[in-house]
Amino acid sequence: MTRYPLPIFVQRFFTERLTNQLAASANTVASYRDTFRLLLTFATSRLGRQPTDLLVTDIDADLVGRFLDFVESSRGNSARSRNTRLAAIRSFFKYVAINEPELLHHCQQVLALPSKRHEKRMIEYLEREQIEALLAAPDLSTWYGRRDRALLHLCVQTGLRVSELIDLCCGDVVLGTGAHVRCRGKGRKDRSTPLRADTAAILGAWLDEHADTADRPLFVSNRNSRLSRDAVERIVRKYAALAAECCPTLKGKHVTPHCLRHTAAMVLLQNGVGCTVIALWLGHESVETTKSISTPTSS
């Protein structure tokens, strides 16, 4: 009887499937890694064998179901996080099913596990007066303020993901006729997003002050290194708090980089841009994702 060692398939899944074939982002790889770390620890405790001794067939639908219950009840994960764990496991078993037809039925049973229904989060986005207050908050007499004004304008107008924003280099900003910014999104897909005249002017001023070579990071820290995800989130929170002093409707509002991404989508929608175009603008793989943003339940 053929044995299917789990370590071999997990290694191939991460190196061949995620990295080489799908060109998954670092965030996706990290999320999947964390899921399998938890799953292997859970399987080891339940089956009494080390991860290196496990077989693919040991990870069956019953064990995966109990694992999902465990991450909810014992680890306090939300239904949304539970579904994220399940998505990673499904992706693995889809890979196994394609490469090992003998395990097709086993994989099918795992893939049949349903996602858990959950309440959708209320979509946060900023209204026009809130946008104006946020963009006016940086102190332009300082280097940090000028950097942050350019960053906020780019976030609000283009809706770039944080990962896309921090990866930008000075050469990715193209000014003049047809001004746009080039970025690499999910799945290593390149796209160009148009820039409004006001955003292009602010970025142009920032480049005049900051750029020396095309490959220099567009936004850097005081150590002259690329901004981190956490740094961008802190910048957005900082100016949201400052803006709330003159715009009371911002008080209590959860303003994050992703909220600014939603804001960009809503501004486009309110200006008559269709969901298909907005999906291309934001780099969504599915128009359905865009539609879920474009039908908000709260402002």
- To the query of whether residue 191 is one of the catalytic residues in this protein, the response is no
| Rama region for 193: left / alpha / beta (φ>0; ψ in -120 to 50; rest) | beta
DSSP states along 141-203: TSHHHHHHHHHHHHHHHH---HHHHHT-BGGGEE-STT-EEEEE-GGG-EEEEE--HHHHHHH
Catalytic residue among 85, 106, 261, 262: 261
- The answer to whether the CB of 132 falls within 8 A of the CB of 233 is no
Catalytic residue among 186, 191, 226, 237: 186
Catalytic residue among 161, 210, 253, 284: 161
d(CA 104, CA 120): 33
Catalytic residue among 82, 85, 253, 258: 258
- To the query of whether residue 106 is one of the catalytic residues in this protein, the response is no
E runs forming strands in the chain: 173-174, 180-184, 190-194
- To the query of whether residue 161 is one of the catalytic residues in this protein, the response is yes
- To the query of whether residue 3 is one of the catalytic residues in this protein, the response is no
Pull the structure tokens for residue 133.
Answer: 């207050």
The label of the residue with tokens 């099918």 reads 108
* Active-site annotation, residues: 161, 186, 258, 261
